[in-house]
Amino acid sequence: MTTSHYIAGRWVEGQGSDCISVNDPALGQPFAELMAASAAQVDQAVAAARGALPAWKATSAGERAGYLRGFAEQLGQRREALISVQMRNNGKPRHEAEIDLDDAIATFNYYAELAAQLPSKNREVPLAAPGFTARTRLEPVGVVGLIVPWNFPLVTSAWKLAPALAAGCTVVLKPSEVTPLVEQAYGQIADALGLPAGVLNIVNGKAETGAALSNHTGLDKLSFTGSNSVGSQVMRSASAQCRPVTLELGGKSAIVVFDDCDVDQAVAWIVAGITWNAGQMCSATSRLLVQDGIADALLPRLQAALDNLRVGNPLTEEVDMGPLTSQAQWLKVASYFATAREEGLQCLAGGRALDRDGWFVSPTLYADVPKDSRLWTEEIFGPVLCARRFATEEQAIAEANDSRFGLVATVCSTDLARAERVADALEVGHVWINSVQAVFVETSWGGTKGSGIGRELGPWGLSAYQSVKHVTRCLG
């Protein structure tokens, strides 16, 4: 795979110095490799996007909607191939890879509809002062750099690409070096649809490629999803150019279980919140706050549920959870197991790497975790759940909000008035009540505090790629 970069409508070989190994995490072995893009190729990609911008933003909203519907249709036509590559490169169980693909398809269809409904570029604005008229224009923000992570590559890129293209922006997409293969489909689809050259560009590489893109003076906006450490670097790059940035960063989210819950339902919601994608989610509800009255019944059942999960290779076994996606993440999670032992935490389930090929760890539960434990306060990005008990609603809210992150939360209670009240009090961007983490394209996605800046999905995702212009004229 040498022609791994899509620049100005052509597939080109990487000219960088890094060779990227693409691994099967269930085996811990590489199965493909590609050469990274050079800084010069990043320049070429940005230049191609800049050159394509005038014509692309001049296309009608209906024409852009047609291309987006084409992306959705073409993703569906590649269904089995895209599911397979996610299973092999990400380690996702089949049912998770299927949902990811359906999410991406729904995203392109949704923004196709929003694009088709975009108002006229000129909207009259009534003024209180006589003698003047004013109109508003919604314009694309321009050339956008998109940097996406390895945990949900097909999905996260769709969340950025679809609204950016709908708004009339041109883009340079940089996939993660851990999972670079599935995003190749977007370049293949651009070819199949006859998308004008330069509207979509894809450059692959490691941190150097990401830095070359985020520091590039030819961009008008950056949108980044990933870790807080890299996000702060992206924000510094944006600040140097005084340009807008959208950041979707980490989380250390809480799931709050009140004692009026059905225990079996609560266990299902808790397990889904920590083991989906092997816990490699910024939204993982990794802090369990369980009310005293239900804790003694819930924790043993939760322990049994985690112990009984089928963990294995999704390509050869029926599994509930696959491996961690990279060796680096496997080592990181293993280091937290060591920290838990050093801190003397009470381990009810898991707490170890599995003795088999590949990057597998056991679904893990620690009980009565102190609030100053590293495992309670730091994002682990693995299937590691920490539990604490609480007595009152006020205590639950206070402990849930006691975090430098504020991405999501889940509330479990049959008292719906209380559940809604707690949801309103939580300092996060998205709350589920009595549910798994169902994410719909019509809703917003993003967080408060250290979990990022801005929102994706819904109409907010489109507005993130639009600029507002007012034109005022004197009638005198």
Answer yes or no: are the C-beta atoms of 184 and 200 closer than 8 Å.
no
Long-range contacts of 53-57 (CB under 8 A, 24+ apart): 53/140, 53/142, 53/143, 53/169, 53/170, 55/196, 56/168, 56/169, 56/170, 56/196, 56/199, 57/139, 57/140, 57/168, 57/169
Q: How far apart are CA 107 and CA 457, in angstroms?
A: 8
Q: How far apart are CA 91 and CA 88, in angstroms?
A: 5
Burial (CB < 10 A; 0-12, 13-18, 19+), residue 214, is: buried
What is the SS3 assignment for the chain? CCCCEEECCEEECCCCCCEEEEEECCCCEEEEEEECCCHHHHHHHHHHHHHHHHHHHHCCHHHHHHHHHHHHHHHHHCHHHHHHHHHHHHCCCHHHHHHHHHHHHHHHHHHHHHHHCCCCCCEECCCCCCCEEEEEEEEECCEEEEECCCCCHHHHHHHHHHHHHHHCCEEEEECCCCCCCCCHHHHHHHHHHCCCCCCEEECCCCHHHHHHHHCCCCCCEEEEECCHHHHHHHHHHHHHHCCCEEEECCCCCEEEECCCCCHHHHHHHHHHHHHHHHHCCCCCCCEEEEEHHHHHHHHHHHHHHHHCCCECCCCCCCCCECCCCCHHHHHHHHHHHHHHHHHCCEEEECCCECCCCCCCECCEEEECCCCCCHHHHCCCCCCEEEEEEECCHHHHHHHHHCCCEECEEEEECCCHHHHHHHHHHCCCCEEEECCCCCCCCCCCECCEECCEECCECHHHHHHCCEEEEEEEEECC
Q: How far apart are CA 398 and CA 391, in angstroms?
A: 12
Active site residues: 248, 282
